[in-house]
Amino acid sequence: MLQGFFQIALMLGILVAVSPFLGRYMAQVFLGEKTWLDPVISPIERVIFAGSGILNSRSMTGGQYIQAVLVSNLVMIIVVYMILMLQGVLPLNPTELGAPSWDLGLHTAISFTTNTNQQHYSGETTYSYFSQVGGLGFLMFTSAATGIAVAIAFIRGLTGRHLGNFYADLIVSITRILLPISVVGAIALLIAGVPETFAAPAQATTLEGATQFIARGPVAHFEIIKELGENGGGFFGINSAHPFENPNNFTNLLETVIMLVIPASLILTYGYIAGNPKQGWLIFSMVFIIYAIFIIITAIGEYQGNPLVNQVLGSSQPNLEGKETRFGPFLTALWAVSTTGTMCGAINGLHDSLMASGGFVTLSNLFLQIVWGGQGTGTAYLFIFLILTVFLTGLMVGRTPEFLGRKIEKREIVLSSLILLIHPIAILIPAAITLAFPETLAGITNPGFHGISQVVYEYASAAANNGSGFEGLDDDTLWWNLSASVSMLAGRYVPLIALVFLAEGMARKQPVPETKGTLRTDTPLFTGVTAGAILILGALTFLPVLVLGPVAAGFNLG
């Protein structure tokens, strides 16, 4: 047990040590300051900008920014969908895989474009190397960069700056953040034993004399952007539990840190851009504490094990169902909380096999979306809660609600409420429809309370753009592919549109001078109130679902 908590503490220590450096670096990148990568990256960027016509581009309005996001993402969906459907005649297809069904291909294209990477398929038996690398790998960079770009535009607007140019931010996010880290990380994974090859599956003869085909492929570079970009879609069906994606404790530690580092660092990036690092650190600390508590709850539940199994064995044993023995209960719990907290969605063990406390935590992460949140958008969600907390506390103490020197008025509250309300709508309504027809639509493999969690988790994962699942669900059907696609689109683009318009409105407001009556937002007290507002709003919205799912399942075991 002590060894497990030491491994968790080591990862948390690395995260705290690395985040301020990356946070400051990203602030320098988007403020246009010089960085140590300029001699290498600047010439490449000049060629890209000149060739694409972005070199002398101006800052966009909110409408232009949204149009750029939607049009570019729509083109990406169409292009990648065509790649998937034509993979049978495209190169790099050593196993001669044909096209998937039209609805599965559409679900996959939407899933990876929205940074969800929800998979209703097994990669090694469904998509060719070209589809995975040329199509899905391309989207892993662009979808992550889209989230970072929108988050930076949102931060700029909050701090009174112009929103910037989406295409410029998209390219810079790739060339200066995602690509350099991915190159270094992929080399590290190669050294640690993750394969990178275009060769066909290896053929081996078993001890019984049978022929076995061992899937492989260009995994290392795919794996690193999968974690770094909060993508989560695995090259193989069992994702980061596969020894070719995550072979040992070193790769597990590296991949866990990598999936956390950008969302965590972006909080500090806000502090640097706003000229208020103190507030950035306070928000970082708030999220860190919630994250640590969730890890402890999940890890203890997995270490104590299943009481029904322990009763039969006559002793307390950890819950090892659905886990890789090289990781065990603690590292599986750490990964589960991290991947649902960051909206990454990669797994190194089956979430369906977590104890009820683990199911409660992972679902809560998907519902809250702020621990640490999605690629860029999670940071924006944090400030939506800050804005609502400013408004609520201002009403309680009789002060005019202001955030960063700008008044919070009706328009900001309406847009903030829309961002928070679309999430439960995209989860609860389709989940209710699906559960109303359990035999024809749901595909539940676990009856009772856990079956409810399976269905709700799938839509929560889609709406939160996470992609993980309580596997065992029969989800490769027309209903699941199309209904989950709707949740993914609603969960991605409705909040994104509202965030940009909210930021534009805040940027246009005249700053109000600070007075003795100004409610300061960079204090531990206000940060604590914000944490309470986050947990209360999340509990009020999703508590009935949690009670019907993991809470009831926990009492049933007890």
Give 201's contacts (C-beta < 8 A, 6+ positions apart): 94, 95, 124, 213, 214, 215, 216
| Predicted pLDDT of residue 557 | 81
Per the domain annotation, does 285 fall within a domain?
yes
357 or 373, which is more confident? 357
CA distance 20 to 268: 7
Residue with tokens 């534009």: 504
Residue with tokens 């989950």: 484
Q: What is the mean pLDDT of residues 488-501?
A: 93
pLDDT tens digit string along 130-170?
A: 999 999 999 999 999 999 999 999 999 988 889 999 999 99
Cα distances from 436 to residues 14, 369, 454, 455, 544, in angstroms, run 46, 27, 14, 11, 17
DSSP string, 421-454: HHHHHHHHHHHHHHHHSIIIII--SS-THHHHHH
98 has a pLDDT exceeding 90: yes
Instruction: Count other C-beta atoms under 10 Å from residue 307's C-beta.
Output: 12
Checking phi first, is residue 12 left (phi over 0); if not, alpha (psi -120 to 50) or beta?
Answer: alpha
Q: What are phi and psi of 242, to 5 degrees?
A: -75, 135
41 or 514, which is more confident? 41
| Predicted pLDDT of residue 103 | 96
Q: What is the mean pLDDT of residues 225-241?
A: 92
Do the Cβ atoms of 140 and 218 come closer than 8 Å?
Answer: no
Residue 376: pLDDT band (50, 70, 90) is: low
Per the domain annotation, does 391 fall within a domain?
yes
| Predicted pLDDT of residue 472 | 74
509 or 402, which is more confident? 509
55 has a pLDDT exceeding 70: no
Burial class (CB in 10 A: 0-12, 13-18, 19+), 51: exposed
Residue 10: pLDDT band (50, 70, 90) is: very high
Instruction: State which of 199-208, 310-319, 377-386 shows the largest mean pLDDT.
Output: 199-208
26 or 447, which is more confident? 26
pLDDT tens digit string along 382-431?
A: 888 888 888 888 777 766 677 777 888 888 889 988 888 999 999 999 99
Beta bridge partners of 290: none
138 or 444, which is more confident? 138
Per the domain annotation, does 209 fall within a domain?
no
476 has a pLDDT exceeding 90: no
Closest CA to 169 of 376, 378, 384, 419: 376
Instruction: Count other C-beta atoms under 10 Å from residue 181's C-beta.
Output: 18
Q: What are phi and psi of 398, to 5 degrees?
A: 75, 30
Per the domain annotation, does 208 fall within a domain?
no
Count of structural domains, the chain: 1
Residue 306: pLDDT band (50, 70, 90) is: confident
Per the domain annotation, does 425 fall within a domain?
yes
| Predicted pLDDT of residue 516 | 67
284 or 393, which is more confident? 284
Per the domain annotation, does 41 fall within a domain?
yes
- Two tokens, residue 252: 């597990």
293 or 447, which is more confident? 293
Residue 515: pLDDT band (50, 70, 90) is: low
519 has a pLDDT exceeding 90: no
Q: What is the mean pLDDT of residues 524-542?
A: 86
57 or 210, which is more confident? 210
| Predicted pLDDT of residue 1 | 65
Per the domain annotation, does 259 fall within a domain?
yes
CA distance 209 to 263: 49
Do the Cβ atoms of 263 and 342 come closer than 8 Å?
Answer: yes
What is the span of the domain harbouring residue 43? 2-203+214-550
| Predicted pLDDT of residue 312 | 85
Measured in whole angstroms, the distance separating CA 547 from the mean position of its chain's CA atoms is 25
Q: What is the mean pLDDT of residues 99-103?
A: 95
Q: What is the mean pLDDT of residues 232-238?
A: 90
- Two tokens, residue 502: 């909210």
DSSP string, 125-166: HHS-HHIIIIIIIHHHHHHHHHHHHHHHHHHHHHTT-----H
Instruction: Using the Cα atoms of residue 248, residue 9, residue 226 and residue 177 in order, give the sign of their dihedral.
Output: negative
Residue with tokens 């209703």: 120
- Two tokens, residue 458: 């799938």
Cα distances from 276 to residues 158, 166, 244, 281, 513, in angstroms, run 13, 25, 43, 9, 16
CA distance 377 to 114: 12
- Two tokens, residue 33: 């300051």
Q: What is the mean pLDDT of the chain?
A: 90
Give me the percent of the chain exceeding a pLDDT of 90.
58
Per the domain annotation, does 558 fall within a domain?
no
Instruction: Count other C-beta atoms under 10 Å from residue 312's C-beta.
Output: 8
